[in-house]
């Protein structure tokens, strides 16, 4: 915090790099600076701005989980700004988010740079704006628009902020200079206290509409509490703020808030690679080759084009090559039609895509991503050829989801340049990118892969080499329990419904229908040879033997009359009941609680095993994979977060009870779980 004086103007600068977070220390300095400027008879106006290119990205989120959020309380500081007897002008550059926007709202006038962006995204952290935001923003822009912005965490640009009344002026050029000039002029704006503005005319109607839109069974109550807080707006500003404060205090202790904040910090934590020397630099990547123009390869190409990269897709089949090109071009054009990008940007992205029939076209790319059929012999053919064609410094990546990356790396002369880049379908939409480090993967190659993940808008998480890596290896145990539940008395719609109500975006059996039952069938055949001591239920194989390979053929576990909607099929229900009789299992009623317990505990136990083996660096890495790639609700935090919520001693007790029952061999407790439970620790403890 610096307070340079310029004649009649006191300039207060928020200066806590990198984003000027409004932690307790900065709030203390801000309060003192406002009080000093207000008491100084030589000061006639105050300019408040952020250091660097950012006004403020908001509060110090780590404080939300603390028992004591630190003094002074943010609303107190903002009330003091608003009560100042001299005009306070906010000069806004870059992002102005959360507590940063609440601070600007407490000022008497707001000037923004044309590139500034504004949001109150607290709902994404399971809380509400707790420093007067629910009371001030609706007074400026109307209750309907304010509720939409706060309950959705929506970002608006400077032009929208001006049109809606959030800011008073937008300028090109030096915003701080413009604010100083205005503050020093005789025509400086009068004091207008936002909290004293009238109650929004649309308040009652907007609140009713927002409540009607709330989902029936939401995992987070933050949207509902935001509406409640806005509904408390009356001419008595202090009374409304008291309601906001009470609701904020209620929300910040909820499981959803803890989980969402765990996700926020976790996505930043997984980008740090333990043991990687600080002087290791990522290589530049501008031109990328993709081998394979199928669904996955095309999705990867779209993601890369959207990130501004130059892409060459190699596909040997003429029809598939043309289809890939058309699909990518249509995706880009669709973004332009929806106003997400300009037509000029769309044209440049389409121009950055080229198609080729042979690998020779990849001679000068920086990175190659192989996305061919999941077969080791097919991978060998591609990598052996690439090793002869590309530059010696070109990174070679495989999109394999289960195969041994070290075996793939052995196909090239220099295995240090091989890394796994496991995208999730659809690759242009799903946020997860599993970055697989082989035994020989070079440190700079690993660093480049993680930087690449960030460049293309993905959450990159490092995995070691094992069958299925982190995500699919855990998903296998999840599925194993889902199928055993079918054997014992559940039906597909019951298993899926229980998991979806609990918080999974899609139940496990619907997921397999979507992915393709034949893919799982091929994996099970391979595992039957490699892991004969870990048998699966025979139910999914019986389904595949009927040619029911999932949604793509209109029939799988479910039937799909319209090609998309899963409908329970009595034929499959009968098949399941008959299979139970065949293997001598007496079917019983299985409650939702047991379904959730067994499926979740399977994820937790295998996740703990993976961390203990060093396949994942930290438990939080497991959580970020499940939140971003497997439809695990962010409000639930991930499997390892859930284990901590339950308590590791309780988790271990439940797993040991299951180990004593049917198919108990699948429930051997992970050594790390046993160790941490014995020490009274949590999975959060190893999250370095």
Q: Is the dihedral of CA 401, 404, 405, 410 positive or negative?
A: negative
Beta strands in 160-224 (DSSP E): 169-171
| DSSP structure class, residue 367 | E
In angstroms, the Cα distances linking 587 to 128, 488, 495, 543, 582 are 47, 5, 15, 19, 12
Query: Is 102 known to be catalytic?
Result: yes
SS3 state at 213:
helix
Angle between helices 343-351 and 318-337 (to 10 degrees): 160
Instruction: Yes or no: say if 403 and 469 are a contact pair by the CB < 8 Å rule.
Output: no
Instruction: Yes or no: say if 302 and 332 are a contact pair by the CB < 8 Å rule.
Output: yes
Which among 122, 145, 477, 635 is annotated as catalytic? 122
Q: Is the dihedral of CA 403, 404, 407, 409 positive or negative?
A: positive
CA distance 467 to 396: 20
HSE-up of residue 493 (Cα within 13 Å, Cβ side): 10
N-terminal to C-terminal alpha carbon distance within the chain: 30
Q: Is the dihedral of CA 615, 616, 622, 624 positive or negative?
A: negative
SS3 state at 294:
coil
Instruction: Yes or no: say if 635 and 261 are a contact pair by the CB < 8 Å rule.
Output: no
Residues with Cβ < 8 Å from 48, sequence gap 6 or more? 12, 14, 81, 88, 89, 90, 91, 103, 104, 107
Picking from 517, 573, 570, the residue whose alpha carbon sits closest to that of residue 545 is 517
Instruction: Yes or no: say if 568 and 531 are a contact pair by the CB < 8 Å rule.
Output: no
CA distance 651 to 619: 15
SS3 state at 356:
strand
CA distance 156 to 176: 21
Query: Is 181 known to be catalytic?
Result: no
| DSSP structure class, residue 436 | E
Instruction: Yes or no: say if 234 and 196 are a contact pair by the CB < 8 Å rule.
Output: no
Instruction: Yes or no: say if 82 and 103 are a contact pair by the CB < 8 Å rule.
Output: no
Which among 102, 267, 606, 635 is annotated as catalytic? 102
Picking from 457, 401, 426, the residue whose alpha carbon sits closest to that of residue 299 is 426
Supply the residues annotated as catalytic.
Answer: 102, 122
């Amino acid at each position: 915090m610096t307070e340079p004086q310029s004649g009649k103007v006191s300039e207060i600068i928020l200066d806590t790099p990198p984003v000027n977070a409004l932690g307790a220390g900065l709030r203390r300095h801000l309060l003192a600076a406002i009080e000093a400027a207000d008491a100084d008879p030589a000061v006639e106006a105050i300019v408040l701005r952020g250091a660097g290119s950012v006004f403020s990205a908001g509060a110090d989120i780590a404080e939300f989980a603390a028992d004591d959020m630190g003094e002074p309380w943010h609303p107190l500081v903002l009330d003091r700004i608003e009560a100042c007897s001299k005009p306070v002008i906010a000069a806004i550059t870059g992002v102005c988010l959360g507590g940063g926007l609440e601070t600007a709202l407490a000022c008497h006038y707001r000037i923004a740079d044309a590139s500034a962006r504004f949001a109150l995204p607290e709902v994404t952290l399971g809380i509400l704006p707790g420093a007067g935001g629910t009371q001030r923003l609706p007074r400026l822009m109307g209750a309907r628009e304010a509720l939409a912005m706060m309950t959705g965490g929506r970002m608006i640009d400077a032009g929208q902020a001006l049109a809606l009344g959030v800011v008073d002026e937008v300028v090109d050029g030096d915003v701080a200079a413009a604010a100083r000039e205005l503050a020093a002029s005789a025509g400086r704006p009068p004091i207008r206290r936002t909290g004293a503005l009238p109650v929004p005319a649309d308040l009652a109607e907007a609140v009713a509409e927002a409540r009607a839109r709330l989902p029936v069974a939401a995992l987070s109550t933050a949207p509902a509490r935001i509406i409640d807080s806005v509904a408390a707006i009356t001419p008595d500003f202090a009374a409304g703020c008291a309601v906001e404060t009470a609701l904020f205090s209620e929300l910040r202790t909820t499981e959803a808030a803890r989980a969402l904040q765990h996700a926020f910090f976790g996505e930043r934590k997984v980008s740090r690679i333990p043991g990687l020397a600080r002087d290791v630099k990522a290589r530049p990547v501008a031109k990328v080759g993709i081998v394979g123009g199928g669904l996955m390869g095309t999705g990867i190409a779209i993601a890369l084009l959207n990130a501004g990269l130059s892409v060459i897709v190699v596909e040997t089949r003429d029809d598939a090559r043309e289809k890939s090109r058309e699909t990518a071009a249509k995706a880009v054009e669709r973004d332009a039609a929806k106003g997400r990008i300009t037509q000029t940007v769309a044209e440049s992205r389409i121009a950055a895509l080229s198609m080729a029939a042979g690998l020779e076209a990849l001679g000068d790319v920086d990175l190659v991503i192989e996305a061919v059929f999941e077969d080791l012999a097919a991978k060998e053919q591609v990598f052996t050829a690439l090793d002869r064609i590309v530059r010696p410094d070109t990174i070679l990546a495989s999109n394999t989801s289960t195969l041994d990356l070290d075996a793939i790396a052995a196909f090239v002369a220099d295995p240090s340049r091989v890394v796994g880049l496991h995208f999730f379908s659809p690759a242009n939409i799903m946020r997860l990118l599993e970055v697989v480090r082989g035994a020989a993967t070079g440190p700079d190659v690993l660093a480049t892969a993680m930087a690449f993940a960030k460049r293309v808008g993905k959450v990159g998480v490092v995995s070691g080499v094992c069958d299925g890596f982190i995500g699919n290896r855990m998903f296998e145990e999840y599925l194993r329990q889902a199928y055993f539940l079918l054997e014992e008395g559940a039906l597909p719609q019951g298993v899926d419904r229980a998991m979806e109500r609990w918080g999974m975006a899609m139940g496990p059996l619907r997921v397999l229908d979507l992915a393709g039952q034949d893919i799982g069938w091929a994996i099970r055949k391979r595992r039957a040879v490699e892991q004969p001591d870990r048998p699966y239920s025979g139910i999914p194989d019986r389904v595949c033997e009927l040619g029911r390979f999932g949604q793509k053929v209109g029939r799988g576990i479910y039937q799909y009359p319209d090609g998309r909607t899963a409908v329970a099929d009595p034929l499959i229900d009968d098949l399941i009941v008959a299979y139970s009789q065949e293997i001598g299992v007496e079917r019983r009623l299985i409650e939702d609680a047991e379904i959730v317990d067994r499926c979740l505990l399977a994820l937790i136990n295998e996740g703990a095993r993976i961390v203990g083996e060093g396949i994942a660096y930290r438990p939080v890495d497991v959580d970020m994979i499940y939140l971003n790639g497997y439809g695990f609700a962010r409000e639930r935090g991930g499997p390892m977060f859930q284990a901590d919520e339950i308590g590791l001693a309780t988790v271990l007790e439940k797993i040991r009870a299951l180990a004593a029952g049917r198919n108990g061999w699948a429930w051997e407790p992970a050594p790390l779980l046993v160790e941490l439970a014995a020490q009274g620790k949590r999975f959060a403890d190893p999250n370095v």
